[in-house]
Amino acid sequence: MPLRKSHFFTRKLIASLTLAGAVTACAPAVAAAAGCTQLPTSKAFSKFGDKADYSLAPGGGFEGTNTWTLTGGAKVVSGNENLGVSSGSKSLFMPITSTATSPEFCVDETNPYFRFAMSSTHKGGYVAAVLWRNSSGQLTQAEFTSSKYVTLLSSGWQPSAVSPLAVKLTLGSNDKAATVQLKIISTGNQNYSDTNLLGTLASNVFGSVTIDSVMVDPYRRG
Ligand SMILES: [Ca+2]
């Protein structure tokens, strides 16, 4: 989304210039400034013992017009996660081998992790990956696996693992930020990828996962 990105970088430039002025006028800077605009937060996973604050990733609730890139039959369906992470009436169903990739967004050192709500049918699984681009180097591009999950039995809604984000990035040397996309790949449980156990049941019923409420941790500890 070039327009949005352009607007974003314009805002960031203004923020940087404002900061530069502030630094000049004040005592020597001690810590590097965050490179991203921070969004409203909530302790979205507190009922699971996670006291961190989280912000919703772009389109991460799958409400309204979908902004994620979907392949392989992934589709927005009725029914929100029931964990209370973020409210709504929709989630993202992902049959085995489908993928869902978020819009680009900014992360900096204050965004160490992301986390989401998920449920699974029998033999479901996923890989949560991060695509990233160092904002100070046009040619730097990479992908890493942040977390994985497999199950033999179906499960209701549960929180995903706390998945590394900025803690695994090489941030830009100037603005300490990077442009990322989150990518969820519905892998099924490859330890049980044969159909002997459950017969020739449709893969869009077995092996699927459903995700919702994709949240980014902006590292504001109380
Ligand atoms: Ca939702």
Indicate if 112 and 175 belong to the same structural domain: yes
Q: How far is the CA of 18 from the centre of ligand 1 (A)?
A: 36
Indicate if 13 and 111 belong to the same structural domain: no
Looking at residue 140, its pLDDT comes to 55
Q: How far is the CA of 132 from the centre of ligand 1 (A)?
A: 25
DSSP state for residue 183 in the 8-state scheme: E
- What are the tokens at 136? 């100070």
Range of the domain at 75: 36-217
Q: Which amino acid is at 75?
A: K
**Is there a contact between 143 and 183 (Cβ–Cβ < 8 Å)?**
yes
Q: Does 87 map to a domain? A: yes
Cα 180 to Cα 188: distance, rounded to the nearest angstrom: 25
Q: How far is the CA of 92 from the centre of ligand 1 (A)?
A: 8
Q: Does 14 map to a domain? A: yes
Range with top average pLDDT, 19-28, 65-74, 159-168: 65-74
CA atoms within a 13 Å half-sphere pointing along the CA-CB vector of 7: 6
Indicate if 15 and 43 belong to the same structural domain: no
How many other CB atoms are found less than 10 A from the CB of residue 199?
7
Indicate if 110 and 149 belong to the same structural domain: yes
How many other CB atoms are found less than 10 A from the CB of residue 200?
7
Looking at residue 112, its pLDDT comes to 86
Indicate if 20 and 101 belong to the same structural domain: no
Q: Does 100 map to a domain? A: yes
Cα 57 to Cα 48: distance, rounded to the nearest angstrom: 20
Asked whether the predicted pLDDT for residue 82 surpasses 90, the reply is yes
Mean pLDDT of the chain: 78
Q: Does 171 map to a domain? A: yes
Higher pLDDT among residues 131 and 133, named by residue? 131
pLDDT category of residue 153 using cuts at 50, 70 and 90:
confident
Looking at residue 47, its pLDDT comes to 95
Neighbours of ion ligand 1 (CB under 5 A): 61-62, 80, 88, 90, 212
Indicate if 124 and 24 belong to the same structural domain: no
Which whole number is the average pLDDT over 145-154?
87
Q: How far is the CA of 123 from the centre of ligand 1 (A)?
A: 23
CA atoms within a 13 Å half-sphere pointing along the CA-CB vector of 116: 32
Q: Which helix (H) or strand (E) holds 79?
A: none
Q: Does 177 map to a domain? A: yes
Indicate if 72 and 174 belong to the same structural domain: yes
Higher pLDDT among residues 212 and 20, named by residue? 212
Looking at residue 111, its pLDDT comes to 82
At 189-219, the pLDDT tens digits run: 876 655 544 544 444 457 899 999 999 986 5
Q: How far is the CA of 194 from the centre of ligand 1 (A)?
A: 32
Indicate if 3 and 52 belong to the same structural domain: no
Indicate if 70 and 20 belong to the same structural domain: no
Q: Does 222 map to a domain? A: no
Question: Residue 16 in 3-state DSSP?
Answer: helix
Asked whether the predicted pLDDT for residue 13 surpasses 70, the reply is no
Q: How far is the CA of 116 from the centre of ligand 1 (A)?
A: 11
Cα dihedral 51, 55, 57, 62 sign: positive
Looking at residue 214, its pLDDT comes to 97
82: left (phi over 0), alpha (psi -120 to 50) or beta: alpha
Q: How far is the CA of 151 from the centre of ligand 1 (A)?
A: 23
Asked whether the predicted pLDDT for residue 25 surpasses 90, the reply is no
User: Cα 55 vs. chain centroid, distance in angstroms?
Assistant: 10
Which whole number is the average pLDDT over 12-18?
42
Indicate if 41 and 2 belong to the same structural domain: no
Q: How far is the CA of 198 from the centre of ligand 1 (A)?
A: 30
Asked whether the predicted pLDDT for residue 33 surpasses 80, the reply is no
Q: How far is the CA of 141 from the centre of ligand 1 (A)?
A: 30
Looking at residue 137, its pLDDT comes to 52
How many other CB atoms are found less than 10 A from the CB of residue 149?
19
Indicate if 127 and 144 belong to the same structural domain: yes
Cα 45 to Cα 117: distance, rounded to the nearest angstrom: 9
**Sequence-ordered list of residues with C-beta below 8 angstroms from that of 55, at least 6 positions apart, any chain:** 38, 39, 40, 41, 215, 216, 218
Number of domains the chain contains: 2
Indicate if 94 and 162 belong to the same structural domain: yes
Q: How far is the CA of 178 from the centre of ligand 1 (A)?
A: 26
Give the pTM. Answer: 0.76
